[in-house]
Structure 1
């Protein structure tokens, strides 16, 4: 009911009661919409947090792989194949994190 006129009601009290009922209904609808929106925002935040966590892990792998290739102390402790394997693993982790983000979009 969106419009009220006196001809629809027996008296003014009935009209005011109907208006109060309509206001309460609209408030319930608004509250439902707000709850739904908050749940959606929470879901997006959880997804973003998971992607950020994956990207941080991939970044750490990239940093370790880079260190194995350029840091003299790391170079002495690793082989070229080991450093290449670390870099490949880091790239795969980064790609997986980005793909997970794009799949959700």
Structure 2
């Protein structure tokens, strides 16, 4: 014989669990399968277009001679202020291990 109380508890648990799980999966699948928003599509198309144009140009797109001149001036200023070096690479830090005195335990 089965215990009707346990069966009722199981059905109650499933009734509270399944709608939440099913609801979330239906919602996420609708979002994934829905057509793209026109503004989102326009944004992604412009990013892809800029990416191909910047790869073809080898740098910034539509950067004129004024920009190149200003960039060179700023790089020269930074090299004067901070002692030169390659400003395009991340600096390498070297830390020495501090010398610690041993503490005598009492």
- TM-score higher than 0.5 here? no
TM-score (norm 2): 0.33
Larger gyration radius, structure 1 or structure 2:
2
Answer 1 or 2: which has greater helix percent: 1
